[in-house]
Amino acid sequence: MKEIVLDTETTGLSVKDGHRIVEIGCIELEDLIPTKNKFHCYLNPERKVSEKALAVHGYNDEFLSKQKKFKEVGEEFLKFIKDKKLIIHNAEFDLAHLNNELNLFGKKKIENTIVDTLILARDKFPGAPVSLDALCKRFRIDNSKRTQHTALIDCDLLAKVYINLIDQKEPTLNFQNNIQETKNIDLENFEYYQKIIRPSPEEIKNHKEYLKLHLKKNYFS
């Protein structure tokens, strides 16, 4: 099954205030393994970036003014995500901005199946912090490269968080397709997460008693 991990960066918080997208990042997963298929672009928002947003992602007006406008990449973006489940952290925010851009472009709203990892995390860890950084810390995912919010880095981290959230820490391999197109799998940059099963207190106690008994016996025999 193919899914798309998606993230955006914007000029500010709300489309109601006229804010626009400045970056879109997408990473394709196939059976939870990242493929080499990615979609990434910087966008000219045709307006100034707010100070708060600039502090978050660091994309200034001069840099963005040289980028393509959404209408120039919209069709390519829609083709990339077509008929695929979208994995988004705080989907309400990203979808509001994406649908706004599509509306300005004269296109329909996104109708893909959506998985909001923010909702998944809140359901799984009620009352606990569920930001992307907090979830990386919880799952011991290295986010040291995330000095600022950038779409592709956030997508990479979110893919790993998503796998942990659904308790599928070992990639699902589809052996029915004997001649799977492994050339599309990004094995070079893929990090394998092996599920760790920790012993219970009772198992630890029994193990210690076993060692006391058998190690002493073997040592003096």
What pLDDT does residue 218 have?
A: 46
Helix or strand or coil: residue 74? Answer: helix
Helix (H) or strand (E) holding 23: strand 21-30
What pLDDT does residue 221 have?
A: 40
Q: Rg (Cα) of the chain, in Å, rounded? A: 22
Closest among 101, 130, 106 to 118, alpha carbons compared: 130
What pLDDT does residue 180 have?
A: 47
Place of tokens 């919010």: 149
What pLDDT does residue 186 have?
A: 55
Decide if 100 contacts 58 (C-beta within 8 A).
Answer: no
Q: Residue 218 is encoded by which pair of tokens?
A: 């073997």
Helix (H) or strand (E) holding 119: helix 117-124
What pLDDT does residue 119 have?
A: 97
Residues classed as catalytic: 149
Q: Which residues contact 40 (CB under 8 A, 6 or more apart)?
A: 23, 24, 25, 26, 151, 152
Q: Residue 122 is encoded by which pair of tokens?
A: 């809140």
What pLDDT does residue 118 have?
A: 97
2-195: CATH homologous superfamily? Ribonuclease H-like superfamily/Ribonuclease H (3.30.420.10)
Q: Residue 9 is encoded by which pair of tokens?
A: 């960066």
Low-confidence residues in the chain, pLDDT < 70: 168-200, 203, 207, 210-221
The CA distance from 221 to 219, in Å, is: 6
Decide if 42 contacts 59 (C-beta within 8 A).
Answer: yes
Decide if 154 contacts 25 (C-beta within 8 A).
Answer: yes
For the chain, the structural domain boundaries read 2-195
Q: Residue 2 is encoded by which pair of tokens?
A: 């193919």
- What is the phi-psi region of residue 136: left when phi exceeds 0, alpha when psi lies from -120 to 50, beta otherwise? alpha
The CA distance from 29 to 34, in Å, is: 4
Closest among 160, 7, 193, 15 to 86, alpha carbons compared: 7
In angstroms, what CA-CA distances link 185 with 23, 31, 77, 158? 24, 10, 20, 18
